[in-house]
Amino acid sequence: MKFSWLSATAAVAVGLTVVRVVAFTPIEAVQGPAQKIYYIHVPAAWVAFLAFFLVAIASAVYLWLRDIRLDRFAESSAEVGVVFTTVVLTTGPLWGKPIWGTYWTWDARLTSTLFLWFIYVGYIVLRGAVDDPSLRARYSAVLGILGAFLIPFIHMSVYMFRTLHPMPILGQPAALARDTNPALPSEMRNTMLLALLSFTLLYAAFLSARYKLATARGIAEAEVRDA
């Protein structure tokens, strides 16, 4: 693997973020140290949504321009997005157990994230099941676009489900406090901004590495076909 300035910068930025989160950011008064997972959870969620948003955009533009690079970009972004969604779905329950008293609750946001994961894992499986590059690109573009239409429906239906049937959530005050979104102390806010920046860099680094792999694979596939 060749040296990449982007990857190196991202690695340093994530390292600095971790140091700042652990050593130089105050511990939250109500939740204690558990709250610090927030500096990984929220940036990972941001990157996951960004990644899937870009999949939908690249998919739509692919069907218009038919540039194979857009398909490779969508493929790469989807895979990186699934990795970050897995981080979100792992860190969330770890925080939820001490704070909400439960690993999982069928909240609209949690459920939508879980379904994002299902859709884009399906997207990756679909790509693996089609051999013809052009057919694969068109199929995955269609799924990439449809997925973007589905998420609002999942969110809406689960939101309405919960509104009609309220479920007990332990640690409600903490959850409420989060939803009312009080102003963060400046140290915490700056740590969060740093974390968001470093995770976005990490996304760019992963995306670029995965994109190179997709290009190399595309060339290899073409050679096999022509031989």
Partner 1 sequence: MVDTLGAAWLIARKDLAIEFKTRSAFLSAVVFALIALVIFYFSWDPTAVSATDLAPGVLWVIFTFSGLLGLHRSFGVEAADRAIDGLLTSPVSRESIFLGKALANLIFVGSIQIVAIPALVIFYNLPLGAAALPLIGIAVLAAIGLVAVGTLFSAMAVNTRLAELLLPMLALPFFVPIVIAASQSTAKLLSGRPVAEAAAWLKLLLAFDIIFLTVCTLAYPFTVED
User: Nearest to residue 47, comparing CAs of 110, 95, 138, 113?
Assistant: 113
* Contact pick of 16, 153, 189, 222 for partner 1 (by CB under 8 A): 153
Q: Which is nearer to partner 1, 125 or 183 (CB)?
A: 125
Q: Which is nearer to partner 1, 88 or 141 (CB)?
A: 141
* Contact pick of 16, 27, 65, 156 for partner 1 (by CB under 8 A): 156
Stretch of 34-42, 113-121, 180-188, 211-219 contacting partner 1, by CB under 8 A: 113-121
CA dihedral 8, 10, 13, 19 (to 10 degrees): -90
* Contact pick of 138, 171, 196, 212 for partner 1 (by CB under 8 A): 138
* 3-class state of residue 3 by DSSP: coil
Query: Pattern of binders to partner 1 over 4-43, x per CB under 8 A?
Result: ----------------------------------------
Q: Identity (one letter) of the amino acid at 179?
A: D
Shortest Å, Cβ 69 to partner 1: 18
In whole angstroms, what is the distance from residue 21 CA to residue 25 CA?
A: 5
Quote the Cα angle for 3-5-10, to 5°. 110
Phi, psi of 2 (to 5 degrees): -75, 155
Helical packing angle, 186-226 and 133-164, nearest 10°: 150
Which residues here bind partner 1, judged by CB under 8 A? 63, 115, 118-119, 122, 125-126, 129-131, 135, 138-139, 141-143, 145-146, 149-150, 153-154, 156-158, 160-161, 164
